[in-house]
Structure 1
């Protein structure tokens, strides 16, 4: 049975990530781990975000079941092979950029620079996923308290049984124990059921988080490189006084 309060929560959160969280072998082309969280108002999500994403897809594909996956778009693979046509690609990317800029969502992202993290802490270096989860939810906690809200369903893309169980355990520890800077009592006021959905479920919010994650990673790795996708989402980052939605560590 679905909890009535959660089913009618004002906000919904969606998780996705870019890069892996292993410290054993660090990819020099992608030496970061990005945890991206996108928060939307439920009513806005239903009435605007989902329909606008579906309408965008239907301008290029025969149905809205195509999953907007960042890697496939960049590589022009699968259904996105249509992007091998330069004219179609330019029009598609222009429309997608405008869509990402205009849709109403609040963005939180934590970027762990794995090489620097490992260099600083050595064998004591914590799992980048756990670090990213803590930093992200410290900021999300601030957002929820500022909006006087407690219920926040969290939807993450399923990665596999072991990976999902690890995230469940990390999430449970965070929500019950708090963090160094935020006591457990504050987190325990939140009601944040964590659910996993497969890519074929075609969840619009997860796709938006995926489309945000890679541009954020590229921005940190190559800050001076033109990055139109990052520019489109930059205005969505949470900002309230000294609390910012984008955290880079260390």
Structure 2
């Protein structure tokens, strides 16, 4: 099988544990960032590298939303409001300009657990929702007869093996689009410094926060919302984002 013109980077926000759902963030959010490979190489990677060189002096730094938000090392350079605002504005502009399509799934863990006697694992459920929509996206662009890689950050041996097993089950037919042979999954070390994974990391939490507190100001989400896959009428619900239940 030939390779497609697209690559998918994945990250999540929140945990998939259902034993304690009454937390300040009872949400699991999964984000698929889909890039045309040529535009990713030509446009996204250079801009992210340039940002790193100018702010940190090197490009070995890995952008993590949590560390940036808390200004943990090496992001202590953002300790003043002026520096933080300037950096976040630049980073937001990169995301806003990025030629990508976002597909996301958000699981309200408390509602999910209370509604079902045997609730499914939130990560596995969100993964299925996103895969189904990603396949339809590729099909619309005539790319479903080629192989597209899904890039996921390593989380641990057992977790990765469990996720890969669920991925294979989904692709074998446990989904609403049928058997899927145009996708493969690849686990990448956290130190890989992948631009795509870093952008996925930046958008997963704002999506989750929007679902959790829809009336709260969320500037990051306002940018991300323009990237969602949409229906022909412009709707994102069910097309670019699935909120469950």
TM-score (norm 2): 0.94
Q: 1:229 aligns with which of 213, 220, 232?
A: 220
By how many angstroms is 1:27 displaced?
Answer: 4.9
What CA distance in whole angstroms lies between the structure 1 residues aligned with 2:67 and 2:43? 25
Is 1:128 the equivalent of 2:119?
no
2:44·2:94 contact (CA, 8 Å) conserved in 1? no
CA deviation profile, 1:51-99 (whole Å, cap 9, x unmatched): 1110111120110111110000100001111111121111101111111
By how many angstroms is 1:245 displaced?
Answer: 0.7
By how many angstroms is 1:183 displaced?
Answer: 2.3
Give 3-state SS (helix, strand or coil) of 1:177's partner.
Answer: coil
Q: 2:142 aligns with which of 135, 141, 148?
A: 148
Structure 1 gaps of 5+ residues are none
Aligned residues: 239
Q: CA RMSD in A?
A: 1.3
Is 1:204 the equivalent of 2:226?
no
2:112·2:119 contact (CA, 8 Å) conserved in 1? yes
In structure 1, the partner of 2:165 is: 169
CA deviation profile, 1:116-137 (whole Å, cap 9, x unmatched): 0001003x11111111111111
CA deviation profile, 1:134-171 (whole Å, cap 9, x unmatched): 11111111101101113211110000001100110000
Is 1:67 the equivalent of 2:62?
yes
What CA distance in whole angstroms lies between the structure 2 residues aligned with 1:103 and 1:27? 35
Is 1:12 the equivalent of 2:3?
no
TM-score (norm 1): 0.92
Give 3-state SS (helix, strand or coil) of 1:59's partner.
Answer: helix
Higher helix share: 1
Q: Structure 1: which 4+ aligned runs deviate by more than 4 Å?
A: none
